[in-house]
Amino acid sequence: MKQLVITHMDFNGCPCLVTAQTENGRVINIHVEKPDKQRLLGSIHVGKVQKVLPNINGAFVEIENHLPCYYPYTKNTNPIFTNRDSFRELKAGDELLVQVTQEALKTKAPCVSSNLSFTGNYLVLTTENTKLGVSPKIPKPAREGLKSYIEQLLPANEARSYGVIIRTNAAKASMSDLSFELQQLQTEMDSVIHKGKFSPCFTRIKDGVSAMQQLLKNIYWSEIEKVVTDDRDIFQLVDTYIRKLSLACPCHVNYYQDDLLPLHKLYRLEHSLIQAVNKKVWLKSGGFLVIEQTEAFVSIDVNSGKSVSKKQAEEMYRKMNLEAAKEIALQLRLRNLYGMILIDFINMKDTGDQSELINAMRTFVKDDRIKTVIVDVTALGIMEVTRKKEEKSLAEQLLELNE
């Protein structure tokens, strides 16, 4: 049973808003941030090109408060300029509409893109990528039907100035819901672009999404059976949102009230946070993981934790590696680790066991909302994994509470 818990609590003396997803009583995903935090992610600005870096196909673009952001571009990039009409080679001083796609991570500046996206419950509109895409998580027969229906609502390819991505939640939506949301997003997109073209440089055209807005839009609601919160405003917001969705199995939204046992204690969220930043993670078999974040990558070491006889070793290592792979996939989501991830599994001599481990790891990461790729296994037996950077890791979120 998957549940979503939303509550306020103090962690190390800092007030925070916590959202946690649980499955069969275990926290599998958790996010923390300051209750009043103003998010930059997703905001749209009139920016000015500060410096062009042709050798790496990038530039630095300043947005509000003269904040420098990294802007990648190629010959196929087609930005919306606010100080000129047509595209030519990008140069310093150009003003263009950009959207923050990634917040500052570690020592890196925020990233912006001229491919503006407008996200709804079921659809996403994009200004540069004009293709029609469908979430691969939607079953293939339903995928084709949805694509065909949306195509009927759109202008022909050559006349269309924007693209559409059909989200996973669209599989449970009615055709009228999809049509209505498409019109809403088209109106919002046209309004933002029009406002951007007539606004001075460094103007914020559209605010970033709040923590709750992002949560509501990113959750696969067909998988959630219950939402629990002890915040009256959040309860009303989520309940209203859920009622608007056309889901075959709508989840229940519960308002929790118990002065003797706060919600975060009932679900042991403080304990989950402490465990989620601990380097060592114990496995049921007696082995353990050691997870460390270095400057360049995430290192995960799988240890057997106890000695066994040579006769039993190979089969035990096989089982322990498979158990570790499942736990690692969960830890990547729980800790929101990103970038290059190097996993040192216990060495196995049998090539069949090694292939089984790679295939199992690929299966385990399929449940991750964020794109995770099993790249390869090196000659030294290190599994290389990449996970897309979208938000700060849990460790970085906790550090930010003290700022």
Q: Give per-residue pLDDT as tens, 276-307.
A: 999 999 999 889 999 999 988 999 999 987 65
pLDDT for residue 34 is more than 60:
yes
- pTM for this prediction: 0.77
Mean pLDDT of 33-50: 89
pLDDT for residue 232 is more than 80:
yes
DSSP assignment of 92-148 equals TT-EEEEEEEE--BTTBPPEEESS-EEE-SSEEEESS---EEE-TTS-HHHHHHHHH
Which residue type is seen at 32? Answer: V
Q: Can you give the pLDDT at residue 216? A: 81
Q: Can you give the pLDDT at residue 76? A: 67
Q: Can you give the pLDDT at residue 220? A: 78
Instruction: Name the least confident of 23-27, 102-106, 335-339.
Output: 102-106
Which residue type is seen at 198? Answer: F
Mean pLDDT of 344-360: 91
Dist CA 324 CA 345 (whole Å): 8
CATH number of the 278-396 domain:
3.40.630
Which is nearest to 269 in space by CA: 394, 387, 399, 105?
A: 394
Residues in the chain, total: 403
Mean pLDDT of 173-185: 92
Dist CA 228 CA 312 (whole Å): 46
Domain with CATH 3.40.630 in the chain: 278-396
Q: Biggest alpha carbon distance in the chain?
A: 75
Q: Can you give the pLDDT at residue 282? A: 95
Cβ-based neighbours of 403, under 8 Å, separated by 6 or more = none
Domain with CATH 2.40.50.140 in the chain: 41-207
Dist CA 46 CA 221 (whole Å): 34
pLDDT digits (tens, 9 = 90+) for 244-268: 775 545 688 999 999 899 999 999 9
Whether the CB-CB separation of 171 and 220 falls below 8 Å is answered with no
pLDDT-based confidence at residue 310 (cuts at 50, 70, 90): low
Q: CATH class for domain 2-38+211-270?
A: alpha beta
Dist CA 138 CA 268 (whole Å): 34
pLDDT for residue 311 is more than 70:
no
Cβ-based neighbours of 166, under 8 Å, separated by 6 or more = 122, 123, 132, 133, 134, 135, 138, 143, 146, 147, 150
Dist CA 52 CA 58 (whole Å): 6
What is the share, in percent, of the chain residues with pLDDT greater than 90? Answer: 59
Which is nearest to 214 in space by CA: 5, 19, 14?
A: 19
Cβ–Cβ contacts within 10 Å for residue 304, how many? 18
Which is nearest to 32 in space by CA: 310, 327, 269, 372?
A: 269
pLDDT digits (tens, 9 = 90+) for 336-351: 999 999 999 999 888 8
pLDDT for residue 166 is more than 90:
yes
pLDDT for residue 158 is more than 70:
no
pLDDT digits (tens, 9 = 90+) for 5-21: 999 999 989 999 999 99
Instruction: Name the least confident of 287-291, 315-319, 358-362.
Output: 315-319
pLDDT-based confidence at residue 68 (cuts at 50, 70, 90): very high
Q: Can you give the pLDDT at residue 244? A: 75
Strands (E), 152-266: 163-166, 204-206, 226-229, 252-255
SS3 content of the chain, % helix, strand, coil (to 5): 35, 30, 35
Q: State the angle between helix axes of 394-401 and 269-276 in degrees (0 to 180), rounded to the nearest 10.
A: 110
Cβ-based neighbours of 348, under 8 Å, separated by 6 or more = 314, 317, 318, 321, 354, 357
Domain with CATH 3.30.420 in the chain: 2-38+211-270
Q: How many CA atoms lie within 13 A of 303 on its CB side?
A: 12
Whether the CB-CB separation of 241 and 235 falls below 8 Å is answered with no
Burial 221-244 (b: 16+ CB within 10 A, else e): bbebeebbbbbeebbebbeebbee
- Tell the residue number behind the tokens 């690929």, with chain if given: 362
Mean pLDDT of 187-214: 91
Whether the CB-CB separation of 355 and 383 falls below 8 Å is answered with no
DSSP state at residue 282: E
CATH number of the 41-207 domain:
2.40.50.140
Which residue type is seen at 199? Answer: S
What the block records as the tokens of 284 is 């049921």
pLDDT for residue 38 is more than 60:
yes
**Average pLDDT of the chain?**
89
Long-range contacts of 258-262 (CB under 8 A, 24+ apart): 262/7, 262/9, 262/230
